[in-house]
């Protein structure tokens, strides 16, 4: 999630002060990812350093309004028109946990999957209930919230499907057949050699 770009895009609509930016961010994201004011001001200072925003004088209430620069407008336009690139180097903790569990002698990876699936299903059901209770909404804020909620629901559904797939894969192998004992081979220094073609960044299920 790009807090930096999101705040800059909001400022493209007009000058705002810190607490106002936090409120506007919440309105547009359904308050799913609340920001603290310190994070907002740190981001604003970095944007100012990069020449994308400028700060004005404080008003009678002590509010300092920040406004976007021409370079900032260009940055927002580029962000909105460019795809989000999912980094290949991003580590998925669940995938790593399961891969390690499946290759450790004496570990029941199926139990690991079952525990995660139960937790994932609880999260999915909670999201679905919240989504159903709130509905689509006819106003812009309701639409924004439903888009975020749908994204989280689709991601949770994809995780459950992957866990079912992993359980099916493991069921076809005796547990001991997947174990990797510690190797006596001395690893070479430097970067490990690449095996096969690089894996493309996964397409999000959102």
Collapse the DSSP code of 56 into the 3-class scheme (helix H, G, I; strand E, B; otherwise coil) and give the result: strand
Per-residue pLDDT of the chain (206 residues; tens, 9 = 90+): 488 999 999 999 999 999 999 999 988 887 777 888 899 999 999 999 999 999 988 888 899 999 999 999 999 999 999 888 777 766 788 998 998 888 888 888 899 999 999 999 999 999 999 999 888 777 888 888 889 899 999 999 999 999 999 999 988 776 655 677 777 777 777 666 555 444 444 444 43
The structural domains of the chain, with segments of one domain joined by +, span 3-81, 93-178
CA distance 80 to 195: 35
Q: Are strands 64-68 and 53-58 parallel, antiparallel or unpaired?
A: antiparallel
3-11 and 37-49 helices, crossing angle to 10°: 80
Residue 113 CB partners (closer than 8 Å, separation 6+): 98, 163, 166, 167, 170
The correct answer on CATH 3.40.50.150 for the domain covering 3-81 is: no
């Amino acid at each position: 999630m790009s807090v930096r770009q999101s705040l800059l895009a909001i400022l493209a609509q007009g000058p705002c002060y810190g607490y106002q930016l936090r409120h506007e961010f919440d309105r547009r994201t359904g308050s799913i990812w609340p920001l603290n004011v310190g994070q907002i001001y740190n981001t604003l200072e970095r944007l100012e350093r990069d020449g994308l925003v400028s700060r004005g004088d404080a008003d009678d209430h002590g509010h300092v309004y920040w406004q976007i620069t021409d370079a900032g407008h260009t940055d927002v336009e580029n962000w909105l028109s460019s795809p989000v690139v999912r980094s290949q180097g991003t580590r998925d903790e669940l995938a790593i946990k399961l891969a390690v569990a499946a290759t450790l002698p004496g570990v029941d990876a199926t139990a690991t999957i079952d525990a995660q699936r139960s937790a994932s299903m609880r999260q999915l059901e909670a999201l679905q209930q919240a989504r159903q209770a709130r509905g689509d909404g006819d106003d812009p804020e309701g639409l924004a919230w439903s888009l975020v909620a749908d994204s989280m629901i689709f991601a949770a559904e994809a995780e459950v499907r992957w866990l079912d797939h992993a359980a099916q894969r493991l069921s076809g192998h005796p547990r001991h057949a997947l174990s990797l004992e510690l190797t006596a081979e001395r690893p070479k220094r430097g970067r490990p050699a690449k095996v096969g073609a690089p894996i493309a960044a996964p397409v999000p299920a959102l």
